[in-house]
Amino acid sequence: MEFSNKSIATADTLKIGKGKRVVVGLSGGVDSSVAAYILKEQGYEVIGMFMKNWHDDSVTISKECPWLDDSNDAMIVAQHLGIPFQAIDLSKEYKERIVDYMFAEYQRGRTPNPDVLCNREIKFDIFLNAALKIGADFVATGHYARKSEIEKEGKKIFRLLSGKDSNKDQSYFLCQLTQAQLSKSLFPVGELLKPEVREIARKINLVTADKKDSQGLCFVGKVHLPDFLQQRLEAKKGKVIEVPADSPAFKNGYEPSDLKNLSASYSLSADLGETIGEHKGAHYYTIGQRKGLNLGGYEKPLFVIGTDTNENIIYTGMGENHPGLYRKGLFVATTDIHWVRPDHTLEIGNSRKYSARVRYRQSLVPCTLNRSPEGLYIIFDSPQKSITPGQFAAWYDGDELIGSGVIN
């Protein structure tokens, strides 16, 4: 495969980085490795920095993503590229801002997104500030996203755009960034496809060229979530209730103007179905989950359609088309609304058409945002699957991410 210098822009042809220092968050993966290479080719003074965010290896599946191996790979890449390298320990901040928040959300029966939070609270806050203290003009990551600038009424505005590779687009994970954070951020691989990134890595003999993409928590590794949660959330047996598809709980008789009911979770109770088994704790499950129920013998797979951590009950429905998996809308409280583009803020009483997604890699779907005094109602043109409280909804105008919020 050939890759184009158009996206890389060598230092000989385009000195866009001349005189500017950038700290790259080297994760030990191929994307951040190639990001560092591209920036160096563009003439930046590049410094590689590895973030250590976690000390407890007891809940990580070490063969999948051991942080020590990642740190070593990041150091080897830095040496190969001839750039300075250092590691920074952010485990204290990560525990306070990400892990504690995760436990609190799961305790409430909600499902947080640690990757979105890690970007907002760690990479583009704590890490960014550490980079600025050593004289950096920017921080860079291996995210598949793009940034552009426009001027509006004499003011510079930064746009967060989807990555060129639609299969790897990671703009969703950056949906909580501010204009100030974007102004100091670079996403060098955003204009490339994943195969192009790997081909670049192979051509320059990077040790990470064919390394498997990491999974799991941001800069922590893949964790066994039940083990992780059981550090603080005790296992507690409770009922698994199956709610039939024809239950009155799923009958939608609401008018299109009834935003509150169209956006609400279904009201589920034990008398709507029958008990079919036991679980180990309602806070270990999330809406849309199929694995981990350990209940067989059904005509179709069972899915979690609701959880009640107060009563310690999980509600299930049979089949991926069960109506309990689908909702017409969602609600974001006023305090949880975030505008990446503050100039697009929706005023109370106004509405606007956008496209949105409620999880990473979900295709964008058309919706209408409706601003009310209590928050933002997002009503989809067609019902959407597995809308999960605690996750983030992000809305786009074309390929530009405009804003986001925590699903209530």
Amino acid at 294: N
Q: Map residue 126 onto helix, strand or coil.
A: helix
Residues 212 and 295 in one domain: no
Q: Which of 356, 359, 340 is nearest to 398 (CA)?
A: 356
Whether 218 is a known active-site residue: answer yes
Type of residue at 373? P
Tell me the per-residue pLDDT of 138-193, one tens digit each, with 9 for 90 and over.
Answer: 999 999 999 999 999 999 999 999 999 999 999 999 999 999 999 999 999 999 99
Q: Could you report the per-residue pLDDT of 2-26, keeping only the tens digit for each?
A: 445 445 544 344 567 889 999 999 9
* Mean pLDDT along residues 240-261: 92
Mean per-residue pLDDT, 384-391: 96
β partners of residue 77: none
Q: Residues 274, 388: one domain?
A: yes
Please tell me whether residues 184 and 280 are part of one structural domain: no
Question: Which residue, among 206, 213, 169, has the nearest Cα to 190 in the 3D structure?
Answer: 169
Where are the strands (E) in 26-80, listed by range?
Answer: 45-52
Q: How confident is the model at residue 213 (pLDDT cuts 50, 70, 90)?
A: confident
Domain count, the chain: 2
CATH number, domain of 350, equals 2.40.30.10
Of 65, 118, 175, 367, catalytic: 118
Same domain flag for 212 and 283: no
118 is catalytic: yes
> What is the domain range of residue 198?
5-229
Band (pLDDT 50/70/90 cuts) for residue 1 is: very low
Could you tell me if 254 and 262 are in contact, meaning their C-beta atoms sit under 8 angstroms apart?
A: yes
Q: Give pLDDT, residue 253.
A: 79
Please indicate, yes or no, whether residues 384 and 345 belong to a single structural domain of this protein. Answer: yes
Instruction: Report the C-alpha gap between 363 and 85 in whole angstroms.
Output: 38
Within a 13 Å sphere around the CA of 28, how many CA atoms are in the beta-carbon half? 22
End-to-end CA distance of the chain: 46
Mean confidence (pLDDT) of the chain: 91
Q: Is 395 exposed, middle or buried (0-12, 13-18, 19+ CB in 10 A)?
A: buried
Q: What is the CATH number of the domain that holds 106?
A: 3.40.50.620
Give the per-residue pLDDT at 63.
52
pLDDT of residue 336: 98
